[in-house]
Amino acid sequence: MSEAIAAFSREVSSRLEDITVWAAAGGLTAAANALADAVAAGGVIQAFGTGHSEAFAMEIAGRAGGLIPTSKIALRDLVLHGSRHVAVLDSLEGSILEREDGVAEELFGLQPVDPRDIFIIASNSGVNASVVGLALLAKERGHTVIAVTSLAHTAAVESKHPCGMRLSEIADIVMDNRAPFGDTTLEISGGGGVGAVSSITGAYIAQLLTIETVQFLVRAGKEPPIYVSANTPGGDEHNNALVASYAGRLRREA
């Protein structure tokens, strides 16, 4: 094994251990309690992330071992459910659309959002207009907003939203994904870096959060509505029966 691989392993392990210690000390309590309360009240967890942070939303919404009342908001909804031309998807790869002012209003209006819903928004930088704008709209409409972001990165950059605020300054609850500024952990000769960690730490936080939310529901005497793998006997039947109780409220398109 090369030294670079060993070094990256140490970078990842140390961050996961730091998150574990934080979680064990009650770091997840506020967020998990808020999510459990929303689910118990009939709400749906609305998950949003752009770029690589969409992976976080995918960890929250619609996977085996996760909660069924979860919905994934994505920029492609502007095409799939809105009036934008499919050519706009080319902008996704260039990170143009996520920075566009006004996208949040259009995107929010396309979602099947209920007053009981809660939002969890992931963004490593926490400054792009779509992310900040969606958080602002959710707050204005009375929803609790949970943020997963890099506190190191967001503190070093300016907001790209006209309000001048970062996601961490809007959210009711903020969780640090422990990624460094720029996300990468290993410098390379000639400049630049490799070994990005935000997707790894974000996925870990998402799973810990799901576990804790389920525990809150169990302790409250509620039966957690959990997905089982569709690739197991009876999986589809189990999932479909529970999904039916949220008809028209869940969105999971690729």
What fold characterizes domain 3-246?
A: Rossmann fold (3.40.50)
Nearest to 71 by CA among 97, 103, 38: 38
Q: What is the pTM of this model?
A: 0.93
Q: DSSP secondary-structure letter at 64?
A: T
Question: Taking the domains of the chain in order of start, what are their residue ranges?
Answer: 3-246
Give CA–CA dist 166/170, Å, rounded: 7
| Structure token pair of residue 133 | 């704008």
C-alpha distances (whole Å) from 173 to each of 44, 50, 121 are: 17, 19, 10
125 in Cβ contact with 149 (< 8 Å)? yes
Q: Each residue of 133-151: pLDDT tens digit? A: 999 999 999 999 999 999 9
CB atoms within 10 A of CB 15: 20
Q: Each residue of 151-189: pLDDT tens digit? A: 999 999 999 999 999 999 999 999 999 999 999 999 988
Please list the ranges in the chain whose pLDDT falls under 70. 1, 85, 87-95, 253-254
Give CA–CA dist 37/30, Å, rounded: 11
Q: Are strands 145-149 and 118-122 parallel, antiparallel or unpaired?
A: parallel
Nearest to 51 by CA among 104, 119, 125: 125
| Structure token pair of residue 56 | 């976080």
85 in Cβ contact with 160 (< 8 Å)? no
